[in-house]
Amino acid sequence: MYTICCGSASLLFIVSYNKSFQARNSVSGNGTRLAVHIRGGDAISYHKLKEHSALLFDISKLAFDSVLRVLQDIGFARVIGSGTSKTVVPTVPYFDNMYETLGSAAEDEGLNELEQMSIHIVNSLAVCPRSKGELASSLGTDSPTMERILRIGKAGSYINEVNVEDESLLVSPLYFAEKPEEFARVVKKHGEASVSKVFKLLRQNPGWPLSKLMQTQEIAGTGLSQDEFQIAMVIVKKGLVQPPEITTSYSGTNEFLFTPPLGTNRILVVEKEIYEKAMACISCVRQGEHFGHWNIKWPSAIIRALLNYGELKPTTLAKEQYRPMCIRGIVRLQKVRGDWWKPVLVDIPENRRALLLALEMLGGGEVLTERGYDSDSVKAIYSDSDYTEAIRGYGNVVQRKKIPKPRQEYEAEIDNLLFDVQKGT
C-alpha cells in the first residue's frame, strides 16, 4: 500500500507545487501544510500566522486569506475578532479525517490535466524508476508537456531524471531519495517489472531479515525467481535498501531490510529521525520473530503492548534483542532478576510517534500519522517571540529552495497577483 499518492497528502503537496508554479492560489495544498502544523494547537494571532506561513510554508501573503477560507469552509479553523485582535482558532481533526476532508477539498478545487499527469507519474514511480519515453507514450503526452511536468517535478523535488546508457529514466525522490542513479541502473539492467516486485515486497514487509531471504529466496512466503533474487542481492550490495543489524550471542549478526524513508528535504513525509527509530523498533521485533527462542507470532502486538503498557514482559533474550532500541533512546532496559530484562518505554512524544509509525509500517498501510509534519515549524508558529526571531532559531525550515520559474511564468504570476490586488479582499 505504499503506492500512495492519490487521495492523500502527497497528492496535495504535488498539487500545491504545480499550482504555485502556475501562479494560481495553491489553496488545498497550502491548506494541508498549514493544517498539519496548527492541529491541536492554541488559538493564534491571524497576523502572526500569516507572517509565519509566508516564511515557513511559502504561502504568499496574498494567497493566505484564500487558504484560510478553505480551512474555515471545511471546518478546520475558526476566525474570531477583527483588526489587530483577529485570531485563528484551529479545529483540525485527527486521524484520517484530516486527509479525507482535504482530499475532497482538493477534488472540489479541481485538478487540471498537468496536475493529473504529475500525480499519475509520481504514483507510477512509487515502486520503481521508469523509462521516460515509455511513460510519455503510455500517457499519450507530447514532448513539451512532458518537459513542463518534469521541470515542475524537478523544482518541487518529487521527480528526478537520470540518464543511464543513453536512456532517460525517471525516479521519484519521494520514494528513492538516496542514490537515484543506482536505482535507475538496476532498472535498466533488470527491467521494471522485476524490480517493482522486489521493492513492493520489501515495502510490504519492512525489516525482513537478509539471512532468511538468502536461505529461502522468499520474502514473507512469496517466492522470488532467480533473476528477482539477484535483483534483491544487487540492491542490498549497492546499499539501495537500508539494513540495520542486530548482533546477539545466540544468533550472530542479522541484517534487516528496509526501503528508503519516504520524502525529501523539500517534501517532508516522515521525519528522518522518527523513521530511523521506527526501523530500530521493527528490527528488534523481527529479531524476536525470526531468531528468538520463542518466536513472536504477531510483531504488531509487541509494538502495541509497548505503546499501551509502557513496557514488555521480561525475557532472558531482551537485553540483546532490544539493544538497538535502547541505543536510540526508545526504551531503557530494566533488570528484573538474573538474566531477565524488560524493555521500558522512554515515554516522550518522539518515541510514541516512532512506535506508531512502526505499527503503520508493519501493517503495510499508508503512512498517515507523520505525513508532512515538521516539529520545528510547529515550534516556530507557537513561539512567543517575534516571528523572525522565532524562525531564525530554526534554520532548516527556512532554507527550502524556491522553485525556479521561467520569465513568462513569473510575469503570469505577477499578473494574477495584480488581479487579486485590484479585486481587493
Partner 1 sequence: MEKDALQKRRLGELFWSWGYLTHYNVKLFDPRSAGSAREELTDVDVLGHKVSPNLHEERVCGDCRTLKGMSPINRAFWQRGVMDYLRISRGYIVVRKPPTENHKQTAHDLGITLFDDQTFDIYRSKLGLIPKLDTMKMFKKESWDYFQNNIPSRQGLSSLLSYRYYGYWTDRPNRALRFTLMEVFGARDKLDEKQKHHIALVLDSATHFSSSFLSMIAELFQIHAVTDNKELLDDYLKAYIYGGREVYAHLNQITKKLIQLKQGDQNTLYKEEEGKERPTDLSLPEWDTFLQLYRTLLEAPGIAVEVPRILRFALFERILYNNDSVKLMDAIPNITTHAVKLSADVVTYFLKASQLLQKFGKDIITVLDDLLLSLKKEDEAGILAKSQHKKQAK
C-alpha 110 chain-centroid distance:
24
Task: Rank residues 95 and 419 by Cβ distance to partner 1 and give the closer one.
Answer: 95
How far apart CA 250 and CA 232 sit, in angstroms, is 26
Q: How many residues form the binding site for partner 1 (CB under 8 A)?
A: 29
Task: Check the CA dihedral 216-222-228-234 and report its sign.
Answer: negative
User: Shortest Cβ distance from residue 363 to partner 1 (Å)?
Assistant: 10
User: Shortest Cβ distance from residue 91 to partner 1 (Å)?
Assistant: 7
Dihedral of CA atoms 5, 6, 12, 13 in degrees, nearest 10, equals 20
| Cell of residue 282, nine digits | 521493527
Q: Is 364 in the site for partner 1 (CB under 8 A)?
A: no
Contact stretch for partner 1 (CB under 8 A) within 42-50, 253-261, 282-290, 405-413: 42-50
Q: Is 308 in the site for partner 1 (CB under 8 A)?
A: yes
Exactly one of 1, 6, 73, 97 binds partner 1 (CB under 8 A); that residue is: 97
Whether the CB-CB separation of 278 and 265 falls below 8 Å is answered with: no
Q: Is 42 in the site for partner 1 (CB under 8 A)?
A: yes
| Cell of residue 265, nine digits | 528535504
Per-residue x/- track, 340-359, partner 1 (CB under 8 A): -------x-x--xx--x--x
Neighbours of 304 (CB within 10 A): 15
Q: Is 41 in the site for partner 1 (CB under 8 A)?
A: yes
How far apart CA 49 and CA 110 sit, in angstroms, is 27
Q: Is 100 in the site for partner 1 (CB under 8 A)?
A: no
Residue type, 192: E
| Cell of residue 361, nine digits | 509500517
User: Shortest Cβ distance from residue 344 to partner 1 (Å)?
Assistant: 13
Exactly one of 96, 178, 339, 411 binds partner 1 (CB under 8 A); that residue is: 96
Q: Is 93 in the site for partner 1 (CB under 8 A)?
A: yes
Task: Rank residues 63 and 282 by Cβ distance to partner 1 and give the closer one.
Answer: 282
User: Shortest Cβ distance from residue 278 to partner 1 (Å)?
Assistant: 13
Residues β-bridged to residue 169: 131, 162
Q: Residue ranges of the alpha helices (H) in 254-348? A: 272-291, 299-309, 318-321, 323-327
Task: Check the CA dihedral 334-336-338-342 and report its sign.
Answer: negative
Neighbours of 3 (CB within 10 A): 15
Contact stretch for partner 1 (CB under 8 A) within 9-17, 41-49, 269-277, 394-402: 41-49
Q: Is 274 in the site for partner 1 (CB under 8 A)?
A: no
Whether the CB-CB separation of 39 and 375 falls below 8 Å is answered with: no
Phi/psi region, residue 157 (left: phi>0; alpha: psi -120 to 50; beta: rest), is: left
Radius of gyration, CA atoms only, the chain: 23
Task: Rank residues 216 and 385 by Cβ distance to partner 1 and give the closer one.
Answer: 385
User: Shortest Cβ distance from residue 369 to partner 1 (Å)?
Assistant: 6
Q: Is 369 in the site for partner 1 (CB under 8 A)?
A: yes
Q: Is 142 in the site for partner 1 (CB under 8 A)?
A: no
C-alpha 147 chain-centroid distance:
25
Q: Is 243 in the site for partner 1 (CB under 8 A)?
A: no
Task: Rank residues 24 and 47 by Cβ distance to partner 1 and give the closer one.
Answer: 47
Q: Is 87 in the site for partner 1 (CB under 8 A)?
A: yes
How far apart CA 350 and CA 279 sit, in angstroms, is 14
User: Shortest Cβ distance from residue 119 to partner 1 (Å)?
Assistant: 26
Q: Is 166 in the site for partner 1 (CB under 8 A)?
A: no
Residues at the contact surface with partner 1, assessed by CB under 8 A: 40-43, 45, 80-81, 85, 87, 89-91, 93-97, 304, 307-308, 310, 347, 349, 352-353, 356, 359, 369, 384
